[in-house]
Chain A
Amino acid sequence: MKKITKLLAVASAAAMLLTMVSCSSGEEDFTAGMTEEEKAAWEAAANDPYGKYPELVTYTTGYNLTNQGSDVLAGTPYEDDTTENNAYTRYLKEVLNVQNENAFEAVSGADYDQKVSMAIASQNIPDIMHVSNYETLVDLVESDLIEDMTEIYENLACDTVKEAYASYGEGNSPLDAATFDGKLMAIPKTQLSDGQDFLWLRKDWLDNLKLEEPSTLEEMEAVLKAFIEDDPDGNGQDDTIGLVVHSEVYGDYPNNTFAIDNVFTALGAYPNIWITDDDGKAVYGSVQEEMKAPLELLNRWFNEGIIDKEFATRTNDDIVGLISSGKCGAYIGPWWSPFNQAQTSTYASDDAEWVNVSCPVGDDGKINAISTKSYAGFVVVRKGYEHPELAMKIVNVNSEYSKQDKSDAAKEIKENQTLAYFNWPLYCEVQPGNNAELMTQHIVDVMDGNADESTLTTEEQSYYESAQRFLEAEEAGKKADSADYSQYMSRMVSINKMIDEPANFLVPSFFETTDSMGSRWSSLEKMEMETVLKIITGEKDISEFDSFVEQWKSAGGDRITEEVNEAIAE
């Protein structure tokens, strides 16, 4: 008997695999059998940005977890919370009367993306979910598996959300990416502008050697040289190295801490991105003439030991180790670098002081930075789901309502943000591109006495409190908690510098992939990285850059460039 059941199961699995019919169920009418009054109540809820449903609405979704481990909740009132019953889901239930039921859950990033692929491949996507890749969105649209959100967005998006999208500017709106043939097919999650990278230096070393904060490439070189040769830590030993460099050298600006894109951009080269040339055509930055100057410079720096001789083989842990152990006092990184253990550990154990400087700058005295794309993911609704507007309403609550709400429930959310184990269901917050700067400005206003503390949002409030704790500890001559140190240094010091010393931002002309890229890009990238690293380490002469460019073009680079230009023209 058991065997027969098994065989049947096998047969059905086989049949499923062979047919793979799209099982999009038609629109189910859930209002059947309701009185007019009930229908009206549902109708009203569906057409109000914050309308509470008359009855509990349960939606299936994919849940993004953090990589923290549930131990961060141990000993807190949230110990027994689950992904279907936590501060966020309880809040949504209270405000909208909705409850999530997780079809799957995984740590955001590769793990979650894999779950999404599996759900799509088995033609079984949840009612509402977050997808992080543009390519996945395109597949879903082309296969007609998701709802058109155009009208829902028009009717229901709250002002905060609409303004936030608008803040990215005409040509770079996140909505554009989610629009296909004039129809908005998803609610895009915004990607905050991460600002420019800074050169982070040990302030105490600068002081020891009586050096000024550098700004140009030449000044940067002089400081780095002094850091190597003049015993900045005063221990009488020749044991310091210059600038640490990420083994990938550049790319993913500015998220790749330790990468040195700024050295390239200071000399007018924009590696690893698509830029617009003088004729208005899109070209790939890594194969332009401008690359030669920075490569030659880096080769000289490598030979003179100004950049870490072993950079190609360092893991991130190695680099953090060099900085933490006081062997290195210079690296390039974004505004949140104080969160990196490289800084927190030196803060906790040494008398290290860090300072971020705008360096190296280009000809006009500003850092040349690269803009990130304006979207970080998309919320999609399964075709045929009876409450498609729910997705928009949750994003509203998440992006606007919860921030202004001062109820106890909203406080719970704030506490959970610091515990950082759960995320909002749908994993989508819509924020203006310069949100980090805006928040800092609000906090500065409060600190300067120009505004009242009650004007802060819940998130701003937690940063404000952190900053207060840090300043109090410093005043008392004690070491602050390292989390407070990180918050203060990032939010108050380095973001303030971003505001005071703005950079030039170049918007790449193209962010996505084209058809040929899929199969050929990694081969071209390999060629590129091999050449760049070998030129820097002196294994290849700079003259070989030209032959690399030729090879790059003939091995598919030209074809991809054409495809990119066609894609932009569309």
Chain B
Amino acid sequence: MIQKKSFGAYTAKVLIWMIVILMTLSCLLPLINMIAISLSGSSAVAANQVGLLPVDFTLTTYNKLLKDSQFWASFWISVQRVVLGTLINMFFVITMAYPLSKSKFRFPAREVYIKFVIFAMLFSGGIIPLYMVVSGLKLTDTIWALVLPGAVPVFNVILMINFFKSVPESLDEAARIDGASPLTILVKIYLPVSLPALATVALFSIVGHWNDYFSGLLYMNKASLYPLQTYIQQLTVDITQVTDAEQLKQLSQMSNRAFNATKIVVSTIPLLVIYPFLQKYFVSGIVIGAVKE
């Protein structure tokens, strides 16, 4: 009886490992392919000969990249943007989600606020009026244009509302009876138990800011001020669609797939580094049970 059960459990374990490894591999292969392309000679790349190992191994694209001063300038702008943007996002997520997570009995006005917030998530006036507001506030060509228009990440606010809602009310009440102010309760009780949720939402913000190329294109009137993804995006071009003589002259120097792959690889690395760092908080956040003790 006992043996049969452990045999079943053993098979299940093996099966789970196999599925997880297969799924993981399927995600890993295209990336390895990308890295292999970035390290291969351009002829081999054009001929689709590169699989998981580089063909005609070369570091030229990486050398070229390291010499591209704009790449690093844009990289630095993106780093600043992510830090500033995520801090701002987190500030608004916390300050908005906390009051809105309270019941309508405790905070009747929430019903009105929440409708506005949902409305703001789904409706947009399009890029022209938004551009006019941003340029009217003289924010174009400043980092604020990249972080302020999306300062309130409504989707994340709603996620956070729900996390806050799941915090046992007993904790809150006990503190209020002790005379703690709402802000103290937020900082001392809610935030510490919500670390996994905060880390998740922060991750969404970081990824969103890092990957967004469009606002850079829209609000930056100087190419030297582009964040990294905007810079990279405009370099990826279609070789076969030439429309004028000017472009023709540039054809001989067309950036090729190997170079683009290199840029993608290099720009993805920071996100690779950040994730395991945030994972730490996922684990240390399991304190809801512990607080009860």
Is B240 in contact with A71, judged by CB distance below 8 angstroms?
no
Contact of B242 among A70, A255, A418 (CB under 8 A): A255
For B48, the chain A residues whose CB sits under 8 A away are 317-318, 321, 324-325
Contact of A341 among B132, B223, B239, B241 (CB under 8 A): B239
Contacts known (A122-B132, A317-B257); A345 close to B47, Cβ less than 8 A: yes
Does A150 sit within 8 A of B, measured CB to CB? Answer: no
For A86, the chain B residues whose CB sits under 8 A away are none
Distance of B281 from chain A, by nearest CB (Å): 32
Contacts known (A17-B132, A486-B252); A376 close to B65, Cβ less than 8 A: no
For the complex, count residues of A whose C-beta is within 8 A of B: 76
Instruction: Compute how far the CA of A124 lies from the CA of B132 in the bound complex, rounded to whole angstroms.
Output: 10
Chain B, 225-273, CB within 8 A of any chain A CB: 231, 234-235, 237-257
Instruction: Compute how far the CA of A102 lies from the CA of B140 in the bound complex, rounded to whole angstroms.
Output: 14
Does A349 sit within 8 A of B, measured CB to CB? Answer: yes
Is A65 in contact with B137, judged by CB distance below 8 angstroms?
no
Chain A, 337-352, CB within 8 A of any chain B CB: 339-342, 345-346, 348-349
Contact of A420 among B244, B245, B249 (CB under 8 A): B249
For A75, the chain B residues whose CB sits under 8 A away are 67
Nearest opposing residue in chain A for B67, CB measure = A74
Is A122 in contact with B251, judged by CB distance below 8 angstroms?
no
For B253, the chain A residues whose CB sits under 8 A away are 68, 72, 419-420, 483
Report the interface size class on chain B: 35 or more
For B223, the chain A residues whose CB sits under 8 A away are 65, 83, 105-107
Does B218 sit within 8 A of A, measured CB to CB? Answer: yes
Is A321 in contact with B47, judged by CB distance below 8 angstroms?
yes
Is B243 in contact with A376, judged by CB distance below 8 angstroms?
yes
Instruction: Compute how far the CA of A79 lies from the CA of B70 in the bound complex, rounded to whole angstroms.
Output: 11
B interface SS class? helix
Does B179 sit within 8 A of A, measured CB to CB? Answer: no
For A111, the chain B residues whose CB sits under 8 A away are 217, 234
Contact of A336 among B47, B238, B251, B255 (CB under 8 A): B251
Is A102 in contact with B222, judged by CB distance below 8 angstroms?
yes
Q: Mark B74-109, 1 if CB is under 8 A from A, else 0.
A: 000000000000000000000000000000000000
Is A74 in contact with B43, judged by CB distance below 8 angstroms?
no
Is A192 in contact with B244, judged by CB distance below 8 angstroms?
yes
Is B128 in contact with A67, judged by CB distance below 8 angstroms?
no
Contact of A9 among B64, B131, B137, B237 (CB under 8 A): B137
Instruction: Compute how far the CA of A326 lies from the CA of B132 in the bound complex, rounded to whole angstroms.
Output: 52
For A487, the chain B residues whose CB sits under 8 A away are 252
Distance of B140 from chain A, by nearest CB (Å): 9
Is B49 in contact with A325, judged by CB distance below 8 angstroms?
yes
Nearest opposing residue in chain A for B257, CB measure = A317
Does A85 sit within 8 A of B, measured CB to CB? Answer: no
Contact of A67 among B244, B245, B250 (CB under 8 A): B250
Distance of B241 from chain A, by nearest CB (Å): 6
For A17, the chain B residues whose CB sits under 8 A away are 129, 132-133, 136
Chain A, 110-163, CB within 8 A of any chain B CB: 111, 114-115, 117-118, 121-122, 124
For B67, the chain A residues whose CB sits under 8 A away are 71, 74-75
Nearest opposing residue in chain A for B238, CB measure = A316
B-binding residues in A (CB < 8 A): 9, 12-13, 16-17, 65-72, 74-75, 79, 82-83, 102-109, 111, 114-115, 117-118, 121-122, 124, 191-192, 246, 252, 255-258, 316-321, 324-326, 334, 336, 339-342, 345-346, 348-349, 376, 417-420, 423, 427, 429, 431, 435-436, 482-483, 486-487
> Besides A340-B240, A345-B46, 15 other CB < 8 A contacts?
A67-B235, A69-B71, A71-B64, A71-B68, A83-B223, A103-B221, A108-B246, A108-B247, A117-B128, A257-B242, A321-B46, A321-B47, A321-B48, A325-B48, A429-B245
